[in-house]
Structure 1
Amino acid sequence: MAHLVEQMAYVGAAPWHGLGSRLSPKQPLEVWQREAGMNWQIQHSPVHFKADTVGNLGTIHSFPEQKVLFRSDTKAPLSVVSSRYQIVQPGEVLEFYRDLTEVSGYELETAGVLKGGRKFWALARTGQSTALKGNDQVNGYLLLATSCDGTLATTATPTTVRVVCNNTLTIALDGTTRAIKVPHNTRFDPNAVKKQLGIAVSQWDEFMFRMRALADRKVQWHEAMGYFMNVLCEVSPNSQLPEVLPNERALRKVQALYEGQGRGATLESARGTAWGLLNAVTEYVDHERRARSNEYRIDSAWFGQGAQIKQRALDAALQLAA
């Protein structure tokens, strides 16, 4: 398939990945479901196979321990999974936000489908917002995503977006994310997830307290280089440098973003600080890192190797400010 994104919708300014069709604010979930390409069901069928016999007249057998998942609209196959696999429908991801948007002040901002329907997500702004030095605004979001091919548990992730550059970062404290994960061998219970999320979302103040500490932590040139080497090349600050640096292109690009080329790099909060180091890496992952397309970039930045790099960057920045 040429594109990972099947369809997508957003409100407000274009999202950081630049994909999707724009909606006016306060649309009902039914409009979101249609415009985000999530108005279909995952259906399933037992696995069948054909066994040749004498005379090439095949006999159809079933394999009840596995089932094929496919789309209700196109009948396109999505994956083969265990018969115990618990399906989460695209509509359930949006429905998760109904009371949050109607009662709790959340606002859906983007939703869509990746990999032809194998992954789908919705992202809503929580209403939480903090401004760091120099009016560097950071807003709180909640990302709910799942897959039907075994690559991603149903995961609710408190997330931040830095307004000046649209950098996205998973909220994590003490080296662990506050994501709530429901594996597909367990039934997805949205109410139980929301109860757990109440604790995670309440940690916004503590997380932003740590981000303020990063903005206050001035960084020397040698510390910045050690940080980037650690995060991007996985070379510890005290180890001997290899003759050929892995990921040298990324290292140079992130250094340039940190030294002024990055969006928001010259703000008081970021110039010469650990917050600036962290945002140089997140901007690189979200906007600059090599990818076959923006669709691949969003998949990596939220769910794949890009997300791991950003987590490593956050952990290393917090260590600097400790």
Structure 2
Amino acid sequence: MHLVESMAYTGARPWHGLGASLAPDQPIEVWRRQAGMEWEIEEAEVRYVVGRDGIGSLNGFPEQKVLYRSDTRRPLAVVSKRFQVVQPGEVLEFYRDLTAHSGFRLETAGVLREGRKFWAMARTGQSTSLKGRDRVEGYLLLATACDGTLATTAQFTSVRVVCNNTLRIALGNSAGAIKVPHRSQFDPEVVKRQLGITVSSWDGFVARMRALCEVPVDPDSVEGILRRVLTYPSPAGAAPVVNEQALAGVRALYEGGGRGSQLASSRGTAWGLLNSVTEYVDHHRRARSDDHRRDAAWFGPGAQIKQRAWDEVVRLVA
């Protein structure tokens, strides 16, 4: 089952093999049409019938509202009256000046879960090569959901070219993302100021990546780090449960099975260990479909695993 309803992309075919392929540097209007994002989210009052067999008085529920698609009229969610909607078109508009004046290039955009979630991602133009051959590109991802499952989230993300692994880039002391809850109005200019769309965060990230490439990790340390990273949530007070199957899978990737694991930047290093985790989460972790895995890797439990892995390996160079 695909979570992706519609999608447009440039470059390589995406993880699920679907979507409309576009030439680079298309206008925002073309992206919106080809990504299936030309509709809007509309609102209506919640009403219910009091009586048997649907016959009776029609009553309103003023504290809630129904969100539905303008094109198909299909319902998307029932939310609080205070819920602030972000439209599909707003997600793409966020990139208009960035693509026109700041060297950004849109690479993917689309709609998930029948319209409940949508995103766009652009290459920032920032990139580096670690030890000559291991190329990492910088991206900016913006996503939101209208069913309460995701705040409007803007985050810098790195993509390791050799294996297409993704990793959220830390911004200063933050976890690497700006989140606007739906009880607040989404102001794109405020978000851009908070992100600080400059080279500063990228430069700091590159410095840490280079440092990780220089740190060897002995086998005993690998085991300990992965046992701290690959855990299941447990009841309050109980010891965390290690996912032994995931640990075995990640170790196999680290010890030579992973894409790029034999590069000088990765072989036996903290950078290689980090990428064994990110490759496992992005490409191998059990999921109902590739779409579910990617969704979890960007926003859900997979993203949390990658953040724990980053925190662990960064301690090795602190």
Instruction: Normalising by structure 1, report the TM-score.
Output: 0.92
| Residue equivalent to 2:140 | 142
**2-side partners of 1:298 and 1:27: how far apart?**
25
Does the CA contact (< 8 Å) of 1:158 and 1:201 recur in 2? Answer: no
Describe the shift of the 1:191–1:180 C-alpha distance in structure 2 as closer, same or farther (beyond 3 A).
same
**1:317 corresponds to 2:274:** no
Q: Where do residues 92-111 of structure 1 align in structure 2 (5 Å cutoff)?
A: 92-111=90-109
| Residue equivalent to 2:158 | 160
Match of 1:301 among 262, 282, 297: 297
| Deviation for aligned residue 1:246 | 3.5
Larger displacement relative to structure 2 (300-309 or 129-138): 129-138
**2-side partners of 1:29 and 1:271: how far apart?**
42
**1-side partners of 2:173 and 2:311: how far apart?**
6
Larger displacement relative to structure 2 (270-279 or 14-23): 14-23
| Residue equivalent to 2:184 | 186
| Residue equivalent to 1:62 | 60
Match of 2:248 among 214, 239, 252: 252
| Residue equivalent to 1:74 | 72
Name segments (4+ residues, structure 1) moved above 3 Å. 15-19, 173-176
| Deviation for aligned residue 1:225 | 1.3
Q: Which structure 1 residue ranges, 5 or more long, are not aligned?
A: 236-240
Deviations for 1:152-208, whole angstroms, at most 9, x for unmatched residues? 111110111111111000012577323111111111111111111226752110111
Deviations for 1:1-27, whole angstroms, at most 9, x for unmatched residues? x43111111101123454433211111
Does the CA contact (< 8 Å) of 2:49 and 2:59 recur in 1? Answer: yes
**Identical columns (%):** 64
Q: Which structure 2 residue ranges, 5 or more long, are not aligned?
A: 234-238
Give secondary structure in 1 for the equivalent of 2:9: strand
**1-side partners of 2:109 and 2:199: how far apart?**
20
Does the CA contact (< 8 Å) of 1:178 and 1:200 recur in 2? Answer: no
**1:20 corresponds to 2:16:** no
Give secondary structure in 1 for the equivalent of 2:179: strand
**1-side partners of 2:253 and 2:135: how far apart?**
19
Aligned length: 313
Q: Where do residues 35-50 of structure 1 align in structure 2 (5 Å cutoff)?
A: 35-50=34-49
Larger displacement relative to structure 2 (195-204 or 289-298): 195-204
Q: Indicate the RMSD between aligned Cα atoms, in angstroms.
A: 2.0
**1-side partners of 2:167 and 2:147: how far apart?**
25
**2-side partners of 1:15 and 1:249: how far apart?**
27
**1:115 corresponds to 2:139:** no
